[in-house]
Amino acid sequence: MAYAHAVRGRRRRTHNPLAAPVAVFVAAIALAVSYIGYVLWPRWPDVPVALGAPAVPIVVAGTSFTVEPSAIRMRVQRHPGSHERIDLAYVWPTLTPPDPAEKPSQMPEPIERLFVTIQGTDGTLAPMERVETIYPRYLVADPEAGPPGLTLRAFREDTPYKDEELVFDSENPAHFLARCSKRAAVGSGNCLLDRRIGAADITIRFSRDWLQDWGKVADAVDTLMQRLHPQ
């Protein structure tokens, strides 16, 4: 028994001659992998890109967009990478980004701008689903004729949308459908047109006066969506 105990003791004190080289080799591999990952991992600049820079890749709610920096209204949003939300502006009807040298006091009246907001859906219904399942309970019974080719349906006075109305293509509502503020004594009001791409909601805001040429607005929205999301 004493002999067996002595043998076990010598075995515990004996070091494996390969342990040190193997440990060094494993550490070298880990260091190399870490360095390669650091070099290849995509990193976006923390500072805003220049206004005149080419379009940059932006991701909202997992959906990729291509946006000109000069179209982004908020300076803190003017960098590539992931965003919770981005706010854009385009000159109407050219759909070009505003001139960065133009001061607010130099802007024409009324402001000929088309504004775009892109953000996550947060689990809300798609635009046409809202029209089919939620809005009908708030609308007045009888529609009205709008500008040629459009139909108007006002929201009832006892609803959260009492000062608004739906304006849509009489033949194909999915082609053009907007929620517009009613025309007031002062000012023409605004319209909101919603689109959804992936898990991102796109809201386009424009002047109600443009409804007189709504076909042009519908085509412009399609063009802009293709430009922002070429896929």
Q: For the segment 204-229, what is each residue's pLDDT rounded down to a tens digit? A: 999 999 999 999 999 999 999 999 99
**Looking at residue 52, what is its pLDDT?**
82
With 90 as the cut, is the pLDDT of residue 154 above it? yes
151 and 83 assigned to the same domain: yes
109 and 15 part of one domain: no
pLDDT digits (tens, 9 = 90+) for 28-63: 676 665 555 544 455 455 567 888 889 999 999 999
Q: Are 68 and 77 in contact (CB under 8 A)?
A: no
- Candidates 211, 124, 200; CA nearest to 165 is 211
Q: What is the pLDDT of residue 108?
A: 57
- Among 141, 150, 191, CA closest to 173: 150
Q: With a cut of 50, say whether residue 185 has pLDDT above it.
A: no
> In this structure, which amino acid lies at residue 107?
M
- The verdict on pTM exceeding 0.85 is no
Considering the domain architecture, whether residues 150 and 104 belong to the same structural domain is answered as yes
In this prediction, residue 53 carries a pLDDT of 86
Judgement on whether residues 119 and 206 belong to the same structural domain of the protein = yes
Q: What is the DSSP string of 138-194?
A: GB-SS-EE-STTEEEEEBPTTSTTTTEEEEEESS-TTTSEEEEEPPPSSS--EEEEE
pLDDT of 218 reads 97
Q: Please give the tally of structural domains in the chain.
A: 2
pLDDT of residue 181: 94
| Mean of pLDDT values over 191-216 | 96
Give the CB-side neighbour count of residue 209, counting CA atoms within 13 A. Answer: 11
Same domain as 133, residue 34: no
Residue 217 lies inside a defined structural domain of this protein: yes
**Same domain (yes/no): 11, 75:** no
Report pLDDT for 38.
44
